[in-house]
Structure 1
Amino acid sequence: MSCHNVVYSVIKIVHDFIPMFFLSLKRTNEENLNFIKSYKPQNNDVENLRILLHGPVGAGKSSFINSVESVLLGRVTGRVMTDTISANSFTKKYKAFKIHKDPKSFYPFIFNDTMGFEQRNGMNVEDIKLALMGHVTEGYKPIPGVQLKESDQEYNSCPSLDDKVHALVCVMPADLVSLISDEVVKKMRDVRLAASDMGIPQLAILTKVDEACPEVKNNIKNVYESIYLKEQVDKFSLILGIPQNCIFLVKNYESELQTNEDINGPILIALRQMIVYGEDFINNL
């Protein structure tokens, strides 16, 4: 189905986009930004809330980290290396990224970036499961088909609560939801079930919304008024089983030279919910 730019009536918006509608309506960018800036884990055993990103190659995991940093710093950044032409994962190591709050301190949350899933190669599912439990150290370079072992130097045998993952986020391009291979779906579903067994909250972001819908490309404000994007949220929810109110639509900073509030808004909404879900998980431990 082609992308349609149809403005729903208020009743239709509330029916189809209840969580998104109320989040975007009631919480301005400033309110979300203030929440994020004032956030601190309540559990004294946790210094940083850890958010792990996973998904297929080219989904925009690294770009999302850059986009969050861009929003929080007020300028477009590119600290996490990305690639626009490779068919294979550009991220080769399991890395952790913290964002400066000021020159002497960081925000109390960490993003863990992972190698993308491929049909036959890419990130090992079992390594992701170990990462969820905190057994994978930063800098580990996954080898497709070879699982990290307890005897390996990069294996953390005694992970602290701070080492463990507190929120799992699946990243998927909005324009490729219908084209994702069964093998990659199986990998993502396997990771989801493992996280569920551990009680780890799970969310998802659909990236590249501007590439998926021309009307959104013309005006990012149309992101939650697009029938096509709503359909992709529905499809992705059915594919992985993630509730629709845990799936967020974002456009990463990729071609822009300056930040703007319309792009910032969906990113801040998604980030705030990651923090809220992760904080609830930490407090329930």
Structure 2
Amino acid sequence: MGGEESKPVYRPPSPVYRPPSPVYRPPSPEFVTVLADKQVKEGEDVTLRCETNTRDVTVTWKKKDQKLCCVEGKHRTVKSDTTIYLEIKKADLGDEGNYTVTIQNSSGSASFSAMIIVEINEWRTVQWKPDPMISALKAFKISNPDVRELRFLLHGPVGAGKSSIVNTIKTIFEGHQFINCLTATDVTGESFTTKFEKYNVGNVPFTFYDVMGLEKDQLKGVHTDDIISAFKGHVPSNYEFKPHDPIDEDNKHYILNPTLNDKIHCLVSVIPADKISRMDDEVIQKMRNIRAEGSKLGIPQVVFMTRVDKACTITERDLTKLYKSKKIKEKMTECSNKLGVTMNCIFPVKNYHEETKPNEQLNCLMLEAFTQIVHSADDFLKRNSNQQKTVE
């Protein structure tokens, strides 16, 4: 029996090694140019624009940390090659805010933000030339010849800028930086004023009285009864306040029968614009109580709203746009609601702080406010003088 011929065993060919194709990864997204803050007038169009290093990105827009809901005819978002932009038609107050664009791909993401600030129509005008106001105030004559000077009392919370107002007004009238009136700082949070301090202004018949700042604890800061006694004319100059022991008739320094020369002719409440929302309710109530007592006596009352540059970006950049700022108007409204003061009695101002040279815009704002309280104080004298004549 013959042997069978063996069949070859099939072996498949060895596979040819082929390295895996590389997975394409786009470059990590970066901004070549970034968004810039924009300031526009109400009704104008505004565009936020930036460029990226790659076109391979998805784009997300947010406003105030919420995804932007685009409205047809109002918003338009565009990605053209590496350019990204957001268009907003006819900007209004609702469009003001912080906008963030995020670019993202499989290699990473990047974000950038910018502010859109909308200027509203100017609702109050200011005379932006200080010299005519200074000349008018220097030539001012008090209506009652028996009154030597118009007396203004500043009061408000610690750090509001009461003493800085005195420094600023004296700087304007005396032609050089005046820093003899010590001020409270954000660091210490304490009032440097402990006495019923009197400050004359240049060669004009105007005098400011500064008091300790108000605090939420009745045993801290100036006592409300002392402020009320002061504007009634019972407190002498340089009297040292005792928060736990307000002055009364038993005090040897108490002025029992004050004349118009002893009384305060205008009460000036001082509120910091950037801190209104955080002011303690107890301090606000103290100020309302003081105002109520002043109203009973017919004393004119105004508010100097300080630190406007800290509360508003528009104003920080350009004080002449103060009355075009939505933020400032909101702060004035908040101040009006908290203190019960009408808007036309609130004057936003800026004090000298970092400046070492005269600032004409700053001076004009303060002079506008100062002119108002001078006329208000003199009107108070006229009313009281007529009442005295009627009694006689």
With CA pairs under 8 Å and 6+ residues apart, which has the higher RCO, 1 or 2? 1
Which residue among 90, 98, 110 is the counterpart of 2:200?
A: 98
| Structure 1 residue 75: Cα displacement | 2.0
CA contact (8 A) 1:48 1:110 kept: yes
CA contact (8 A) 1:4 1:215 kept: no
Which residue among 102, 106, 118 is the counterpart of 2:215?
A: 118
User: In percent, how many aligned pairs have the same letter?
Assistant: 37
| Structure 1 residue 4: Cα displacement | 6.6
* Corresponding position: 1:61 with 2:167: no
Unaligned runs of 5+ in 2: 1-95, 98-114, 385-392
* Corresponding position: 1:40 with 2:147: no
2:111 is matched with none
Distance 1:187 1:73 in 2: 34
* Corresponding position: 1:241 with 2:340: yes
CA contact (8 A) 2:214 2:222 kept: yes
CA contact (8 A) 2:158 2:184 kept: no
1:150 is matched with 249
Amino acid at match of 1:181: D
Distance 1:4 1:55 in 2: 33
| Structure 1 residue 52: Cα displacement | 0.4
1:271 is matched with 370
SS in 2 for 1:123: coil
Distance 2:133 2:192 in 1: 31
Amino acid at match of 1:78: I
SS in 2 for 1:57: coil
1:206 is matched with 305
Amino acid at match of 1:119: K
TM, length-normalised to structure 2? 0.66
CA contact (8 A) 2:314 2:321 kept: yes
Amino acid at match of 1:283: K
Question: For each residue in 1:123-151, what CA deviation from the matched residue of structure 2 results, as whole angstroms up to 9, or x when unmatched?
Answer: 11011111111000111111113111212
SS in 2 for 1:52: strand
CA contact (8 A) 2:129 2:360 kept: no
* Corresponding position: 1:6 with 2:118: yes
CA contact (8 A) 1:55 1:172 kept: yes
Which residue among 63, 68, 71 is the counterpart of 2:172?
A: 71
TM, length-normalised to structure 1? 0.90
1:104 is matched with none
2:153 is matched with 52
1:88 is matched with 190
Coordinate RMSD, CA, aligned: 1.6
* Corresponding position: 1:194 with 2:296: no
Structure with bigger helix share is: 1
1:262 is matched with 361
* Corresponding position: 1:29 with 2:126: no
Which residue among 254, 259, 272 is the counterpart of 1:160?
A: 259
CA contact (8 A) 2:236 2:255 kept: yes
Amino acid at match of 1:70: T
Which residue among 215, 221, 229 is the counterpart of 1:130?
A: 229
Distance 1:253 1:162 in 2: 30
Distance 2:328 2:351 in 1: 16
SS in 1 for 2:291: helix
After TM superposition, what 4+ stretches of structure 1 lie above 6 angstroms from structure 2?
Answer: 1-4
Distance 1:212 1:265 in 2: 19
Distance 2:207 2:305 in 1: 20
Q: Which has the larger radius of gyration?
A: 2
Amino acid at match of 2:331: Q
| Structure 1 residue 175: Cα displacement | 0.4
Give the number of equivalent residue pairs: 269
